[in-house]
């Protein structure tokens, strides 16, 4: 049990600290022990303003919808509409750490939630016991603003960009500050027109590896990003051919869809594989030309039969 004297002693000390700050216009000095104890005390005190109940987020995958929309807005290889999530701790309630989260997108200068979407009428932001729920709410706030302003289709999971505003003109917004963007990937129009792109690239890579005497490679190692469901990273296991390639070749990150991840890996392997096969063919041709006429004819017949069997 704490005595009244203890409370008076603390009250006098607090008064001295406040008087020091009022006189010197600077924070009152604290020892490390005092600072730690005050932080712990603050966490256990009841809130002066009751927290709002956590909003219902429903069953919608708000984070996945926003990430798909960002990928659909890709403006060129390796360059997509940006998205940047920032989490920060909120109050501790009943010994439970609460969390806030903001998300920045290129279309708005302020992060979401903001006064235009996600904040309550009195300007407060909901906090959540789970980081993931705080992140979902930030994504939901951004999506609702995008839909309201005709920059994203209403309803469903369609991530294609809406080409026309919905019943209201768009006001140009100042560009947001430059920031780090996750390297999410979606096929570019140039890649779509390439006859060796997509599944053709997978078949071509397999054929080239067989020409090099390794029909069982590559093996595609693909893993899903736990923070962004539906997005995958991966790399090729080239087996005995690995020493022939530059380090890191074919490694991709955060590509939408498992199949698309394998296709993107294959596309990056095409150029070096074609170069290797071309060099191998050139060496074979030089060897054949260096042979005497009779032996050359025999070797030509041998290579023809090999190609027929292949």
Residues 6+ apart with CB under 8 A from 73: 80, 81, 161
> Do residues 80 and 74 touch, judged by C-beta distance below 8 A?
yes
CA–CA distance, 125 with 141 (Å, rounded to integer) = 11
**Residue-wise pLDDT tens digits, 4-63:** 999 899 999 999 999 999 999 989 999 988 988 887 787 676 665 566 688 889 888 999
Confidence (pLDDT) at 273: 92
% the chain with pLDDT above 90: 26
State both tokens at 168. 């209201």
Confidence (pLDDT) at 178: 47
φ and ψ at 145, to 5 degrees? -70, -45
Per the model's pLDDT, the better-predicted residue between 170 and 240 turns out to be 240
Give the confidence band of 285 by pLDDT, cuts at 50, 70, 90.
Answer: confident
pTM of the predicted model as reported, rounded to 2 decimal places? 0.43
Confidence (pLDDT) at 22: 92
Per the model's pLDDT, the better-predicted residue between 240 and 158 turns out to be 240
Over range 186-209, report the average pLDDT. 64
Confidence (pLDDT) at 147: 92
């Amino acid at each position: 049990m704490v005595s009244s004297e203890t409370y008076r002693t603390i009250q006098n000390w607090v008064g001295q600290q406040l008087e020091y700050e009022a006189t010197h216009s600077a924070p009152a000095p604290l020892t490390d022990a005092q600072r730690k104890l005050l932080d712990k005390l603050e966490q256990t005190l009841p809130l002066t303003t009751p927290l709002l109940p956590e909003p219902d987020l429903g069953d919608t995958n708000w984070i996945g919808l926003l990430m798909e929309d960002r990928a659909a807005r890709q403006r060129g290889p390796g360059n997509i509409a940006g998205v940047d999530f920032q989490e920060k701790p909120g109050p501790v309630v009943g010994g439970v750490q609460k969390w806030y989260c903001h998300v920045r997108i290129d279309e708005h200068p302020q992060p979401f939630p903001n006064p235009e979407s996600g904040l309550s009428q009195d300007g407060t932001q909901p906090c959540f016991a789970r980081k993931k729920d705080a992140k979902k709410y930030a994504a939901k706030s951004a999506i609702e603003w995008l839909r309201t302003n005709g920059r994203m289709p209403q309803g469903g999971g369609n991530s294609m960009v809406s080409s026309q505003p919905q019943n209201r003109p768009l006001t140009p917004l100042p560009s947001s500050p430059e920031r780090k963007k996750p390297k999410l990937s979606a096929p570019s129009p140039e890649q779509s027109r390439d006859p060796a792109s997509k599944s053709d690239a997978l078949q071509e890579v397999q054929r080239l590896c067989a020409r090099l005497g390794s029909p069982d490679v590559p093996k595609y190692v693909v893993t899903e990003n736990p923070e962004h469901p539906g997005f995958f990273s991966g790399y090729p296991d080239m087996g005995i051919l690995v020493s022939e390639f530059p380090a890191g070749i074919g490694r991709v990150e955060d590509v939408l869809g498992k199949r698309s991840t394998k296709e993107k890996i294959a596309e990056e392997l095409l150029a070096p594989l074609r170069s290797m096969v071309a060099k191998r063919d050139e060496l074979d041709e030089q060897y054949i030309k260096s042979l005497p006429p009779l032996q050359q004819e025999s070797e030509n017949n041998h290579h023809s039969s090999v190609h027929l069997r292949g």
